[in-house]
Chains A and B, each alone.
Chain A
Amino acid sequence: MSLFDLKGKVAIVTGGNRGLGKAMALELARSGATIALVDIKVSNETLADFEKEGLKATGYDFNLTHFDEYSSLVAKILKDQGSIDILVNNAGVKKSHPAVEYPKNDWDFVMDINATAVFYMCQTVGKIMIEKGYGKIINMASLLSFQGGTTVPSYAASKGAVMQFSKSLSNEWASKGVNVNCIAPGNFNTEMSADFIHNPKILERTPAGRWGEPEDLAGTAVYLASKASDYVNGHTLVVDGGILGR
């Protein structure tokens, strides 16, 4: 199964301290990658979870709103790890308010973290990948890259942005050996969905009849990070138990 082997690769995973990011980072590591976890605060417990399985991970405490520090962050990771082959832009935030009263500071925060930070992480890491002619970038889109949701217009806007600029990057970088793709998760059992996870209507609308678990994304991350997806560019892979097809 060498198509999915990530031995010798270094992967940056943003927001990898918990939830979906942590699950994807663990599976990338199990497939052989060395992981650089970027989060506001990477806990000892998270790193211990990697060490328990004999996997390699380093934490980088970083606030993704500090756009002017991206270059030094990425330079540090490159120096510490020796290479950057995979970038998973997983960090995301959500703020809910009715559209009529959506405050500008929350709009800006969501757009900054979910869209602008993703673009500039792609840009900063992309330069390194272009130079070596190899790279795998995975951005987190969402069902709200396709649908509008309720009372989360900034989230929908930011995820629409991610899906579309990922295609822009793919158009520019595919021929340089850099794959840029997205994963669009459906409704997953994570802290971010705690406010609506008990709504039975969502489950009724999910053909698979269950919520997604963080582990359900892990295989997709490995697929898009590996040689198995070398001719997949600018695609958004939907992992939603069938909701969008319904």
Chain B
Amino acid sequence: MSLFDLKGKVAIVTGANQGLGKGMALELARCGAKVAIIDLKVSAETIADFEKEGLQATGYDFNLADFDKYPSLVAKILKEQGSIDILLNNAGVQKRHPAEDFPKKDWDFVMDINANAVFYMCQEVGKVMIEKGYGKIINLASLLSFQGGLTVPAYAASKGAVMQFSKSLSNEWASKGITINCIAPGYMDTEMNTALVADKTRSRQILERIPAGRWGTPEDLAGAAVFLASKASDYINGHVIAVDGGWLGR
């Protein structure tokens, strides 16, 4: 199964200290990649979870709101790991307010982390990838790249932005050996959705609408991440894979 083999590759995964990011980072590592985990604080427990399985991971504590430090972060990772082959922009935040009350600072925060940070990480790492003529970039879109959600207009805006500029980057970089694609997770049982899961009515409504009849788990995304990080997807560019238990088709 050499199509999915990631031996010798280095993957940056942002927001990978927990949840979906950690699930995907672990699976990339199981397929052979060395993983550079970026998060506000990468815990010793997270690193230990990799070491337990004999996998290689290094933590980089970093605030993605510090845009002017991206070049030095990426240079440091490149120096320490020797290469950057895969970039998985997973870090994301959520703020809920009715649209009529949505405060500007929360709007800016969500747009900065979910959209602007993703673009500038692509730009920074993309330069390295263009130079070597190889790279796999995976950005996290969302069901809200297609739908509007409820009381999360900034999240919807940011995820719409990610899906579209990923196509822009694909149009510019596909011929240079770099594939840029997105994963759009459905309703996942993770910390970001604690509020949804706890709301019995919303939780029931959502479940009733998922053809697969269950919420997604971090493990459900892992295969999509490996697929888009590997040779198996070399002719896939600018695509959004929905991993949503069938939600969008309903």
Contacts and interface: CB of A to CB of B under 8 A. Distances in A.
Interface of A: 1, 3-5, 27, 30-31, 166-167, 170-172, 174-175, 186, 207-209, 212-213, 216-220, 222-223, 226-235, 237-242, 244-246
B246 A208 contact: no
Given A27-B3, A174-B212, A237 B241 contact: yes
B139 to A, nearest CB: 13
Given A167-B249, A223-B227, A233-B245, A3 B237 contact: no
Contacts of B175: 207-209
A208 to B, nearest CB: 4
Interface in B205-250: 211-213, 216-217, 220-224, 226-227, 230-239, 241-246, 248-250
Interface of B: 1, 3-5, 27, 30-31, 166-167, 170-172, 174-175, 186, 211-213, 216-217, 220-224, 226-227, 230-239, 241-246, 248-250
B142 to A, nearest CB: 15
A187 to B, nearest CB: 10
A207 B211 contact: no
B239 A5 contact: no
Given A4-B1, A241-B174, A231 B243 contact: yes
B249 A234 contact: yes
A233 B212 contact: yes
Given A231-B243, A241-B235, 19 more contacts: A30-B1, A31-B1, A175-B211, A175-B213, A208-B174, A219-B227, A219-B230, A222-B1, A223-B224, A230-B220, A230-B223, A231-B244, A231-B245, A233-B246, A235-B248, A239-B239, A240-B239, A242-B167, A245-B171
B239 A234 contact: no
Given A171-B246, A175-B212, A231 B237 contact: no
Most B Cβ at <10 Å: residue of A167, A208, A222: A208
Contacts of A3: 27, 222-223, 226
A212 B171 CA distance: 16
A132 B175 CA distance: 44
Contacts of B213: 174-175
Closest 10 CB pairs of A and B: A219-B232, A228-B223, A234-B249, A245-B238, A233-B246, A242-B237, A167-B249, A245-B167, A207-B174, A231-B220
Given A171-B211, A207-B170, A219-B231, A238 B236 contact: yes
B241 to A, nearest CB: 6
18 contacts: A1-B4, A1-B5, A4-B3, A216-B234, A217-B235, A219-B4, A219-B232, A219-B233, A223-B224, A228-B226, A230-B220, A231-B186, A231-B220, A234-B249, A235-B243, A240-B235, A242-B167, A245-B237
A232 B211 contact: no
Most A Cβ at <10 Å: residue of B167, B212, B217: B212
Contacts of A222: 1, 3-4, 232
A219 B181 CA distance: 15
A27 B230 CA distance: 15
B235 A212 contact: yes
